[in-house]
Amino acid sequence: MKPLLKIAIPKGRIFKDATKLFRAAGLPLPEDFDEGRKLIVQSPEAGFEFILAKPVDVPTYVEYGVADLGISGKDVLLEDNRDVYELLDLNIARCHMSVIGLPDWKPVYYPRVATKYPHVASQFFRERGQQVEVIKLHGSIELAPLIGLADRIVDLVETGQTMRENGLVELEKMYEITSRLIANRVSYRLKNEAIQALCDQLQPVLLTGG
């Protein structure tokens, strides 16, 4: 049977919380879902096909309609600004995006800010009337102030462990981040019944606030 819904689900830190949430909502997922290395996993009883994607790519799959739905961190949605519907705040993978630096950080003329989120960072400092040079990195962002690449970084803080272990401090909280259920605009119309049914099942198990 053709799956009713194709759902892009991110590998990595959101994956565990997302599968837990689906199971808590009584949605049957394959037993070995969490262990294998398959990138497309069928869940025939639920009528789902899961596409296991890199987190930053989830909104792209959903915008282009190769996935009807996706689970994506708000950080990725803010940075990418894809043309998708945001249906539910799943309230998982909660963290925040912050400006981080060394404790003895001092303002300099035309500072450099390293980040995985160049658009979000540029807009944030522009709105404050601060001129900064934004440097895009792909990971281990905390290295940048330690080795003199940047004065500050914009990055996610979850437990704060990475920051602390590298002698950095949070200078300013920017945004609360959680994962969202997103939908392709056309799928949302054509498969509305199935999408609504999934939302209705997830809704009662979503934790609020936090």
160 binds ligand PRP (CB under 6 A): yes
Site string for ligand PRP, 93-132 (x = CB under 6 A): ----------------------------------------
Torsion over CA: 118, 104, 157, 175 (sign)? negative
User: x-or-dash pattern for ligand PRP, window 163-192, by CB under 6 A?
Assistant: x-----------------------------
Say whether residue 139 binds ligand PRP (CB under 6 A). yes
Does residue 147 bind ligand PRP (CB under 6 A)? no
Q: Is 158 in the site for ligand PRP (CB under 6 A)?
A: yes
> Residue 52 or residue 205: which is nearer to ligand PRP going by CB?
52
Nearest distance, CB of residue 120 and ligand PRP, angstroms: 13
Nearer to ligand PRP, 6 or 116 (CB): 116
Give me the DSSP letters along 94-163: -EEEEEEE-TT----SS-EEEES-HHHHHHHHHHTT---EEEE-SS-TTHHHHTTS-SEEEEEESSSHHH
Q: Phi and psi dihedrals of 189, rounded to 5?
A: -80, -50
- Give the bridge partners for 152, in sequence order: 101, 113
- Report which of 101, 75, 70, 90 is spatially closest to residue 176, judged by C-alpha positions: 75
* Residue closer to ligand PRP, measured from CB, 134 or 183: 134
Among 29, 62, 132, 141, binds ligand PRP (CB under 6 A): 141
The residue type found at 192 is N
Interface with ligand PRP (CB under 6 A), residue total: 13
Q: Which residues bind ligand PRP (CB under 6 A)?
A: 139-142, 155-163
